[in-house]
Amino acid sequence: MERTLVVVFDSEKKAYEGKKALQRLDGEGSITLYANAVVTKSADGTVAVKDVNEPGPLGTVLGTTVGGLVALLGGPAAALVGATSGLAIGSAFDLDSVRVGEDFIEDVSKALAPKKAALIAEIDEEWTTPLDTRMEEIGGTVFRRALSEVQQRSDDEEIAAMKADVDQMKAEAAKANAERKAKLQQKVSLLETKIQIQKQKAKDKNEAFKKQQAAKKQILKKNAAAAGKALRNLANTQV
């Protein structure tokens, strides 16, 4: 199951220990690691990106969810600090982009107090015990949430609602006097612009999701090939 993972630690040093443990779990096959970053929160509440994984050409695509979560946790300050980190961090992220619920963001924000650090990752895992055990041994508090699908229905409903308003205003304008008609036409023009913006946002979101899924499939195929090679080598080992 694809999940967003956040592990909060009391120090940056512990967060790096958590990162190494996460990479070992990936190497063992207990999880599949797509993207990760270590972040810290300073005394003034600024969230800084300290370290990002290097997934090669897939980094920009796979870093979208992790980068979006960093931006939501830290606000504009995090977006500025992370601008050169390799993650896709910016002000355009919302809950749909990171594909988790508002309650998850709130829980993590409360746990990530000033002077603490966190390991943020996007992973695939079949069971939670291996990861939880490793992180708890280091002193980490684990938060995880299954990633939701792109909310196409929500986008469609919002666009439909705006179109209904446009239709009603056009009907009223057809019967209104000149002054009222001009005002209604202005509102119609504004709404039609918003509809086009919303359509483009929905399209961009859907395309980004498809790219993420394609990139993940490449990693899964690579991991499967590596696992198959290891098994073949094991079978051919002389005892």
Q: Per-residue pLDDT for the chain (239 aa), expressed as one digit of tens each?
A: 888 899 999 999 999 999 999 999 998 888 988 888 888 988 888 888 887 665 544 344 345 567 677 777 765 444 434 434 444 444 444 555 566 677 788 888 899 999 999 999 888 888 889 999 999 999 999 998 887 644 555 667 778 888 888 998 899 899 999 888 898 899 899 999 999 988 888 787 777 767 767 777 777 777 665 555 544 554 554 43
Tokens of 23: 């990479």
C-beta separation of 36 from 120 below 8 A: yes
pLDDT for 90 equals: 43
Beta bridge partners of 124: 2, 32
Between CA 208 and CA 63 the distance in angstroms is: 11
Domain's final residue, options 148, 172, 198 = 148
Q: Are residues 64 and 162 in the same domain?
A: no
| pTM beyond cutoff 0.85 | no
Closest CA to 50 of 30, 78, 22: 78
Q: Are residues 160 and 83 in the same domain?
A: no
Q: Are residues 144 and 156 in the same domain?
A: no
Q: Give the total residue count for the chain.
A: 239
Q: Are residues 61 and 17 in the same domain?
A: yes
Please tell me the total count of domains within the chain: 2
Q: Are residues 33 and 75 in the same domain?
A: yes
Helix (H) or strand (E) holding 161: helix 152-175
Q: Are residues 124 and 157 in the same domain?
A: no
pLDDT for 225 equals: 59
Domain's final residue, options 148, 177, 200 = 148
Q: Are residues 169 and 144 in the same domain?
A: no
Q: Which domain holds residue 141?
A: 2-148
pLDDT for 151 equals: 52
Domain's final residue, options 148, 174, 190 = 148
pLDDT for 64 equals: 57
Closest CA to 10 of 121, 119, 140, 97: 140
**What's the number of CA atoms in the CB half-sphere (13 Å) around residue 176?**
14
Q: Are residues 169 and 205 in the same domain?
A: yes
The neighbour count for residue 82, using CB atoms within 10 Å, is 25
